[in-house]
Amino acid sequence: MNKNKKVVVGMSGGVDSSVAAFLLKKAGYDVIGVTMQIWQDGQQTADNGGCCGLKAADDARRVAEALDIPYYVMNFKDEFKKNVIDYFVAEYLCGRTPNPCIACNRYVKWDSLLNRSLSIGADYIATGHYARVRTTEHGRLAVSKSATAAKDQTYALYNLTQYQLGHTLMPIGDYAKEEVRQIAVAENLPVADKPDSQEICFIPDDDYAKFIAQTAETSGLKLPPQGNFVTKDGEVLGVHKGITHYTVGQRKGLMLSMGRRVFVTEIRPGTDEVVLGESEDVFSSSLKCNQLNFMGMADLKAPRNVVAKVRYAHQGGEAVIERIGEDKILCTFMNPVRAITPGQAAVFYDGDYVLGGGTIM
Amino acid sequence: MSNIIYMDNAATTKVATEVLNEMLPYFTEQYGNPSSIYSLGSSAAKAVSTAREQIALSLNAKSTEIYFTAGGTESDNWAIKGTAEAYQDKGKHIITSAIEHHGILKTFAYLAETGYSVSYIPVDEAGIIKIDELEKAIRPETILISVCFANNEIGTIQPIREIGELARKNGIIFHSDAVQAFGQIPIDVDEYMIDMLSISAHKIHGPKGVGGLYIRTGIKIKPFIHGGSQERGRRAGTGNVPGIVGFGKACALAMANLPEKSRKLISLRDYLIEQINGEIPHCRLNGDSERRLPNNVNFSFRFIEGESLLIMLDMKGIAASSGSACTSGSLDPSHVLLAIGLPHEIAHGSLRLTLSMENTREEIDAVVKAVKEIVLKLRNMSPLYEDYINKK
């Protein structure tokens, strides 16, 4: 039944996407390997640019040769710059902490790559994500957690549309990480060892503040000035380096000696203040989010019990969500949650599948 | 890989059978080092000097003015860095055009980083350098002008004699990257007043990894590769004897009946241009229609992405390109197309087809049919095309 169905597999040369390509070929699809070129001119990420560096292209080409599938590198530099890097910097300048992987998935992988793949005659795109696409009892498409409890990459995929999901295959979602490795070994795939990192691929040294400062300068954007560390009651505690250096929940690198552990509890872009507080001040029991995407649920008319995740590594907490505006949801947790951070996503689950989500305000 | 239609001869060419046969003995029987004193070495040396003469003859140069390198890019690097350094006491201003090959542009950028001042001369919409701008850019401290003989993407042939005259008049060294032009159109280094010229074997049905640099007698140049005294002490390293032999043979083959071959290629080229113009709406020929390499065709198609077009052509067994490919094989909008004034989105939708004498009219018909189908299909999926149709 998969005969003559064409699928473009996003390949990094790593084990996950290589096995994805292998499984699809075995299932009878007409498989085309593609690496997305997203690294920018003069960027020194050739060796370690995550899924899409120059080395990824070399590695992926080798795997494609072993699998005997056609392979191409497609250029998405402009799309990545606009939708991911510029967005990332703009969010930080506004005092928020964005998740660039979500933006990359929604606007680069599942928009630019999908469209170009469809244009060359493909029916689907596929990735090596640990997630599955399933149809709910109400006929909606939703990403659901993979067979591996330890690996769940659904959080960064909550923002996909029904159309995008309809053209998506995630073949390794049915396997445990160890099984995927075993398949690669058994099939003798020349996969490259890639660190399983969740760092940001376009900032190889992880110095976000420096990257933001450099990018802002070349784009002619104004960098937020130094400001005050304050308590929630407004008492000034010291001077900070500018709000782009901080994120909610942060404890290290504040360069303050308070004689006790303090945490960033809030960033106030209007006044350039960074609010510090005690450990318990970092917890809150509700959040509001906007820029909503509905996935497993078509809409939210009445309050609903969900499990909500507020960042990639969050285990999720039981909560009630309700619509409080055309593009706004209030999410109230049963138990307070640590470091709810504006700019990150709130993703809502029913069991193992994603109902939808939004950007934390 | 049967049934491939190869129309990317500006990227590289197939080694001619005669060239390969000429090279083969120098891998096995005649494997001597040309610098040795025994006779095995001297027969290799003799073969190298024959090749040198073949190439010198084709350029109206002396054989002592031809130096073998590992390719066109090495020749470009050596010519520019070697003279920039040798003449830095006279001045540190160097001039090139906006549409050079990366072998030139990146070398100029490197020199700019090390304290040289660089002028990039713009081109007109056909890709021809603006001579008046070039003249204005010349300063007392200008030491070097480098302009490609013919462009690798759009095939535009530059007014080389005028540039040579201007350089000579002002006592400036004139280098030309002739990697694309060499073997396709006649080049006379005296007539064109060229002081240095880069050439390459693999663009003329010779082997990869061999190039040459013509250096006029009297031009000072620093060595680029230090070591033994090969190539008259200017380019160290044991010569690639089989490659050099192949280069000489390929050159001799290219020069034989050159006018007749040019005429045939031009007629194939113009047929291809005519067919595309006639069959596919909203396209434009990039480059000049007259002052153009005999084998080069470059079109932009509105509303589509070149990358998708090339991938779909590949799926049909047609090898084409959209200009210069980057390291990974993915495509950037061409700096050449941007320099001739094409907007970013149109520069993205370009196709370069470069012919050889092996291409046939039947192949051209098949390619035009495939391009037409693909462009139509891509346009049907293009939101830009939809907007355009709705506005009409």
Residue ranges of the alpha helices (H) in A68-207? 77-80, 86-93, 100-103, 114-119, 162-166, 177-186
- Whole-number pLDDT of residue B333: 77
Contact A119 B328 (CB under 8 A): no
Which of A54, A74, A114, A115 is the best substitution to test chain B (most B C-beta atoms within 10 A)?
Answer: A74
Helices B361-380 and B306-315, axial angle in degrees (round to 10): 130
Q: In this structure, are residues B95 and B121 in contact, taking their beta carbons and an 8 Å threshold?
A: yes
Residue ranges of the alpha helices (H) in chain B? 17-23, 39-59, 72-86, 102-113, 131-137, 160-169, 241-255, 258-279, 306-315, 335-339, 344-347, 361-380, 383-391
Cα of A142 to nearest chain B Cα, Å: 26
Q: In this structure, are residues A122 and A32 in contact, taking their beta carbons and an 8 Å threshold?
A: yes
Q: What does the longest C-alpha to C-alpha distance in chain A come to?
A: 68
- Whole-number pLDDT of residue A196: 61
- Whole-number pLDDT of residue A181: 93
Which one, of A44, A64, A66, A65, lies nearest residue A53 by Cα?
A44
A153: left (phi over 0), alpha (psi -120 to 50) or beta: alpha
Q: In this structure, are residues B250 and B206 in contact, taking their beta carbons and an 8 Å threshold?
A: yes
What span, in angstroms and rounded, lies between the C-alpha atoms of A265 and A249? 6
Tokens of residue B27, six digits? 């891998």
What span, in angstroms and rounded, lies between the C-alpha atoms of B372 and B349? 14
- Using a CB-CB distance cutoff of 8 angstroms, which residues of chain B are in contact with residue A108? none
Q: In this structure, are residues A158 and A145 in contact, taking their beta carbons and an 8 Å threshold?
A: no
What span, in angstroms and rounded, lies between the C-alpha atoms of B165 and B26? 41
* A74–B contact, CB cutoff 8 A: yes
- Using a CB-CB distance cutoff of 8 angstroms, which residues of chain A are in contact with residue B329? 57, 72-73
CB pairs under 8 A between A and B: 41
Which of B308, B381, B385 is the best substitution to test chain A (most A C-beta atoms within 10 A)?
Answer: B308
- Whole-number pLDDT of residue A198: 55
The structure's pTM equals 0.88
- Whole-number pLDDT of residue A45: 47
What span, in angstroms and rounded, lies between the C-alpha atoms of B212 and B49? 13
Q: In this structure, are residues A8 and A126 in contact, taking their beta carbons and an 8 Å threshold?
A: yes
Q: Over its length of 392 residues, how does chain B's per-residue pLDDT go in tens digits? A: 458 999 999 999 999 999 999 999 999 999 999 988 888 888 999 999 999 999 999 999 999 999 999 999 999 999 999 999 999 999 999 999 999 999 999 999 999 999 999 999 999 999 999 999 999 999 999 999 999 999 999 999 999 999 999 999 999 999 999 999 999 999 999 999 999 999 999 999 999 999 999 999 999 999 999 999 899 999 999 999 999 999 999 999 999 999 999 999 999 999 999 999 999 999 999 999 999 999 999 999 999 988 899 999 999 999 999 865 554 556 677 889 999 999 887 888 889 999 999 999 999 999 999 999 999 999 998 888 999 999 98
Cα of B312 to nearest chain A Cα, Å: 6
- Whole-number pLDDT of residue B325: 55
Q: In this structure, are residues A45 and A223 in contact, taking their beta carbons and an 8 Å threshold?
A: no
Active site residue B148: no
Q: In this structure, are residues B345 and B297 in contact, taking their beta carbons and an 8 Å threshold?
A: no
- Whole-number pLDDT of residue A256: 84
Residue-wise pLDDT for B118-149, tens only, equals: 999 999 999 999 999 999 999 999 999 999 99
A42: left (phi over 0), alpha (psi -120 to 50) or beta: left
Q: In this structure, are residues A248 and A342 in contact, taking their beta carbons and an 8 Å threshold?
A: yes
Does residue A203 sit in helix, strand or coil?
coil
Tokens of residue B24, six digits? 């083969």
For residue A36, give the chain B residue with the closest CA.
B330
Which of A69, A73, A114 is the best substitution to test chain B (most B C-beta atoms within 10 A)?
Answer: A73
Which one, of B182, B187, B97, lies nearest residue B144 by Cα?
B97
Contact B378 A77 (CB under 8 A): no
Tokens of residue B81, six digits? 């860095």
Contact A73 B314 (CB under 8 A): no
- Whole-number pLDDT of residue B1: 46
* B314–A contact, CB cutoff 8 A: yes
* A47–B contact, CB cutoff 8 A: no
Residue ranges of the alpha helices (H) in B154-232? 160-169
Contact A74 B307 (CB under 8 A): yes
Q: Over its length of 361 residues, how does chain A's per-residue pLDDT go in tens digits? A: 677 899 999 999 999 999 999 999 999 999 999 999 887 766 554 454 566 667 788 899 999 999 999 999 998 988 999 999 999 999 999 999 999 999 999 999 999 999 999 999 999 999 999 999 999 999 999 999 988 767 789 999 999 999 999 999 999 999 999 999 999 999 999 987 776 655 788 888 888 899 999 999 998 999 999 999 999 999 999 999 999 999 999 998 888 888 888 999 999 999 999 999 998 999 999 999 999 999 999 999 999 999 999 999 899 999 999 999 999 999 999 999 999 999 999 999 999 999 999 999 9
